[in-house]
Structure 1
């Protein structure tokens, strides 16, 4: 860089913002990271409580397909900062990773805090500064405006990276407050919607009170033509869990179109219909119908409860049905979804700054020198490491984009 190091503002101290800060500091820029919260990367730390699924080990073509219609848009950034580079980056911070049985990649420590501490130490040695409790409120005469505990503050920057996240888990800092600021600048923003979210179901009082919080394991969920194996959890107001999240985009859009969606559940997906009929045709003896389901089909109490809930909704007396009808129900449970559980409880959000509003380096076309990274952009992905990978990759791409733009503006050698 030139003798006058460009002054770069990063707004948002999550993975995308911190990665942009690292790339820029390595490039010789003077970097300050601003965040509204009193500490950094709160959502990142929350994600780490469940093991911190950083990325996924599958081949890149399959990996990229997880981003659906945004895959071609994100591909250059992810190819420049792919999963293997993210793993090497973790290793360099003293936090080795491993591949789990599902192909997901985790740090050996299985939590975010050691990785974050090591990262912040590295950023400190690179000269990156942090200004916390600074809530971005827009621009004033070309300068960045912040609301702080000490009153309004204005900051001049040679370039800015916006990495304020989406609108899920707003109590951790990503509240979508930036939408109105950018919309006032004429930036097109796809509405923020819950992604990887749970759904509302009108359970009966008996089922809700007995089975709230219990997992459905070894099931297959289907919606439309997609089938997902995994687990789900009954909540007081509906259903959530990894398999549900994998289908959430399609179900959310169906709800938006028609007001309802039907989720299909196979409780014993590995058993053929003929096998189910054979087991249900065995003499019951003196055992109850529930015991027959438990012993012959190895159904858990919550699975039996869900089966009975479905039969009741259809006006059927489950125990009096012939074996073929029961077999059809066991792998054909229908759950009527009435809505999502909302942004505040979603793992991530869909929507954001439209791809037409940024160039190949993620710079806003309407505001040269302002770049956007992470979940602020209009993409979504399932859980499994894809969310963090794209946040890291777009943060790195935006940081590199700033350096490229500065060279074009004559502020770098």
Structure 2
């Protein structure tokens, strides 16, 4: 007789855990408090679904920083090539973009999700929406709030895939942390990751440049350099390059109250060459016109120099300081740091304090930059957790 395994959470980690379980012959029900599955997954795909990344696996695993050792076995067991094969089996072709990121050819998440849900249905996976998990009863049964009623369900094993605490309106609100702590599970406090930062812009700068792209540029902080793009916002700065530095910037602000981010506004120019070009006669040209024509510096770059109170020199252009005074809140972050502590789980992500309960995806205490690393780890840990659940119920 097949074992009954509950998966709580219908995001990518939960859906992939359910698929792995069902393919192995388990009877699976996915429970989710939202009225439809994978809402954050769909939102992430609106601008182009970045499934994973094509860089060599040895470099890939380095992106997970302090959590590399814990995540590496699952990432190697189900690497980016396997994720691409999985998408292909669903009828969704992928391609490698110029940045090395991997996308479905149609770029969107919805066609992939529709094919995925059809596959789960064909495997006999049941999806129970509007079921908010409320922990366990005294007998160990799962408790769910379903409108005005409470449902209690016994299962042979459970996989928790409830996400972190970012974008709570899409389903992952982190409410589970208190439930697990009450059962003796260590949970590290949540913090925003892949997030924008606040800068005290003047009203003039904000009104003139909010929405302006900052590119090309190299961003420096605590010995790290990231070349890429950012966007000026009404509150400060955001974008892919900023997200790659978000963890150390966030931690520095929490420790010191602020952080100084340095920007090279002309990364293609060496200092001496830039200095020589700036020494040319300007004639009647304005600063903005001269700098655009001579060194290709966009008006936003000139605005940043003025906002920082700096003279327009080669040194200032190559190392513009910006004072960041805060990270955006959790509900505006792409992902979260924090979650179930690594010493609270076994190598296959089973909770030490609650046997036969496994954890996958962003519930675990790891963070990574955007670029496909977030989704890849959700898939890889889901597969590992599912295999652990199958092993304990065999």
TM over 0.5: yes
Counterpart position of 1:107: 104
Partner SS for 2:145: strand
Partner SS for 1:71: helix
Counterpart position of 2:377: 390
Partner SS for 2:393: helix
Given the alignment of the two structures, is residue 68 of structure 1 paired with residue 65 of structure 2, yes or no? yes
Matches within 5 A, 1:313-392: 316=310, 318=311, 326-392=313-379
Counterpart position of 1:265: 263
Cα deviation, residue 361, structure 1: 1.1
Q: Distance in 2 between matches of 1:221 and 1:199?
A: 14
The gaps in structure 2 that reach 5 residues or longer are none
Given the alignment of the two structures, is residue 133 of structure 1 paired with residue 130 of structure 2, yes or no? yes
Q: Distance in 1 between matches of 2:368 and 2:46?
A: 20
Q: Distance in 1 between matches of 2:271 and 2:83?
A: 45
Counterpart position of 2:272: 274
Q: Distance in 1 between matches of 2:286 and 2:256?
A: 40
Structure 1 residue ranges, 4+ long, deviating more than 2 angstroms after superposition: none
Counterpart position of 1:399: 386
Cα deviation, residue 245, structure 1: 0.3
Counterpart position of 2:18: 21
Aligned residue pair count: 393
Partner SS for 2:188: strand
Counterpart position of 1:35: 32
Q: Which moved more, 1:149-158 or 1:349-358?
A: 149-158
Counterpart position of 2:169: 171
Q: Distance in 2 between matches of 1:159 and 1:289?
A: 67
What is the TM-score when the length of structure 1 is the normalising length?
0.94
Q: Distance in 2 between matches of 1:368 and 1:86?
A: 29
Give the alignment's Cα RMSD to 1 decimal: 0.9
Deviations 1:226-276 (A, max 9, x none): 000000111111110000000001111111111111000000011011111
Q: Distance in 1 between matches of 2:300 and 2:284?
A: 22
Deviations 1:364-384 (A, max 9, x none): 011111000000000100011
Counterpart position of 2:206: 208
Q: Distance in 2 between matches of 1:162 and 1:404?
A: 16
- Partner residue of 1:44 out of 31, 41, 44: 41
Cα deviation, residue 150, structure 1: 4.0
Partner SS for 1:375: helix
Partner SS for 2:368: coil
Given the alignment of the two structures, is residue 162 of structure 1 paired with residue 160 of structure 2, yes or no? yes
Q: Distance in 1 between matches of 2:299 and 2:283?
A: 20
Q: Distance in 1 between matches of 2:17 and 2:288?
A: 57
Deviations 1:299-325 (A, max 9, x none): 1121111111112xxxx5x3xx6xxxx
The gaps in structure 1 that reach 5 residues or longer are 408-413
Counterpart position of 2:233: 235
Deviations 1:132-159 (A, max 9, x none): 0111111112111111124211111111
Q: Distance in 1 between matches of 2:328 and 2:60?
A: 27
